[in-house]
Structure 1
Amino acid sequence: MPGEIESEVLLLGGTANRGRVVRVGDTVRRPQRASSPATHALLRHLADVGFPGAPRFLGVDEQGREVLSYVAGTAITPPYPAWALTDAALVSVAHLLRDYHRAVSTFDPTSLPWPPSPPAPFAGELVSHNDVNLDNVVFRDGRAVALIDFDLASPGCRVWDVACAVRLWAPLRPDRFIDDSRRGRALARLRLFADGYGLPGADRERLVTAVRQNHEWSYDIVGTAAANGHAGFADYWTGGTRERAERTRQWYLDSGDRLRTALL
């Protein structure tokens, strides 16, 4: 009926904004942050250049929440469906990330209030997404079609985003922490992602260091938020995550040569 108020539907996934992101019709409403003006400028640029793989920024609602277009499809949340862990799905994420980097390469990020950038030398090339987690990629018909949740996007680089994505999607961690069909295939999937993205040879050497530093950078964000009283991150951090993070970091240090060989 005309004038009828559409109901809010809670969207699952994510940690930072858990319980605070809702769907209203064909839009998504999310809390704003100090860096929201930068994110909105980025999303406007992606729309202007015709990149279809990101939500559109539509404005701010009467409650002060940012309003984004709803991206139809499936974001990958536990329990992970088998099709999302296939090599074909992995390669489609690599293709989507490559296309995003092409679209964002003409965006000028200067004079905008970004969140902290990745560490040197992985900052300043372009605005990287910085959080290509499974629940931040939308699939349709088994293929990755869009990135969502640009809250951590900031001036970074291509190799940093590849490191973030392949670390989580391969995944790159000890087999004891992999309990699905990807177990035992981390190195093969690392190579598959790099090849699918088209990562140049010089960047493959940098990728091994970027993976370890991305792991440390990401868990520093988690640990800091938990220490500052963020309930979602505190629950995540105290549920065995701290031990897994440290053991995985040591695995990166011990497995550097194996990772490099897999990328040759």
Structure 2
Amino acid sequence: MERITRADDRVHRPAGPWTPTVHRLLAHLHEQGFVAAPEPIEHGDTLETVSFVPGVAGEYPWTEDVASEAALVTSARLLRQFHDAAATYPLDASRDCWSQAERTPVETIVHGDFAPYNCVYDGIQAVGLIDFDTAHPGPRVWDVASAVYRFAPFTTGAVEGMTAPALEDRLARAAEFCRAYDLDARSRSVLAETMTASLVAMVTTMETEAAAGNPKFVSDLAHGHADLYRADVAYLEQHADAIAAAVA
């Protein structure tokens, strides 16, 4: 399991082969004026150090602030600001190493796991974005789809401390996120299918890593995470037309 520690204004995290590339991305974001991401400090073969982003992460159960419409809107705007800054990252195939495969069309560097638990809040305001290990080149809608799935939320499972919202409320939150992000029409038209594709990819990764003996993913499978994501895929497919109409 990952072990993340904090010492004053620094965070120490396990490093991977992709960490040098992620640090170049973080440096680029700050050069572009996107200061909501951690600043890269140093990295080695097994450990990286980045700056601490002050605030409260949107972990479950959500606080009233994190569950608010204002938090959803500011999170969507934060994602747009990140994408705009990351779009100018100078890709270099000879040195870049990402933990995820590139997805086409490449429009920016996507975060890869944009969700409330990777956003940092000051009350109802999203002020930070953390954990860039899954960043990789790809289309903006890949992140927006992941975000809408998490923020609506469209999960069929019980979320600790939360009452499952009605479908109408989920659709309204999905539409509001897309409006706040200012997602283009083409991306809106494929949002529902991109959500299902991202969940299928997540299950595939989980099962592949578990088969290879990765203890985190072995634990995830044992706790039924893959079964939940499959149920969510079925739910999204059942309501795909309603989702498409809501976000159009």
Same fold by TM-score greater than 0.5: yes
Question: How many corresponding residue pairs?
Answer: 243
Does the CA contact (< 8 Å) of 1:109 and 1:127 recur in 2?
A: no
How many Å apart are 1:108 and its aligned residue? 1.4
| Aligned equivalent of 2:173, options 184, 189, 192 | 189
CA offsets, 1:153-192, max 9 Å, x none?
A: 0011211110111111111233x64572551121111101
Matches within 5 A, 1:1-264: 17=2, 20-60=3-43, 64-111=46-93, 112-117=96-101, 119=103, 121=104, 123-174=105-156, 177=158, 180-181=162-163, 183-184=165-166, 185-264=169-248
Match for 1:207: what amino acid? L
Q: Is 1:177–1:244's contact at 8 Å kept on the other side of the alignment?
A: no
Which residue identity lines up with residue 49 of structure 1 in the other structure?
Q
RMSD: 1.9
Residue of structure 2 equivalent to 1:6: none
Is the Cα–Cα contact under 8 Å of residues 76 and 84 in structure 1 kept in the other structure?
yes
- 1:21 Cα shift? 0.8
How far apart are residue 118 of structure 1 and its match? 5.3
Shift of 1:133: 2.4
Q: Is the 8 A contact 2:16 2:46 kept in 1?
A: no
AA matched with 2:61: P
Deviates more, 1:124-133 or 1:238-247: 238-247
Q: Note the residue ranges of structure 1 that are not aligned, 5 or more in a row.
A: 1-15
User: Could you give the per-residue CA deviations for residues 43-82 of structure 1, whole angstroms, max 9, x where no partner exists?
Assistant: 1101111211100001137x85211001111112233222
With over 3 angstroms needed to count, the CA separation of the structure-2 counterparts of 1:66 and 1:169, relative to structure 1, is same
In the aligned structure 2, how far is the partner of 1:132 from the partner of 1:237? 22
Partner AA of 1:169 in structure 2: F
Greater CA radius of gyration, 1 or 2? 1
Contact (CA 8 Å) 2:43, 2:49: kept in 1 or not? yes
The answer to whether the 8 Å contact 1:85/1:181 transfers is no
Deviates more, 1:228-237 or 1:210-219: 228-237
SS of structure 1 residue aligned to 2:224: helix
Measure the CA separation in 1 of the matches of 2:58 and 2:211: 28
Q: Give identity over the alignment, percent.
A: 31
Scaled by the length of structure 2, what TM-score is found? 0.91
Secondary structure in 2 matching 1:84: coil
Unmatched 5+ residue regions in structure 2?
none
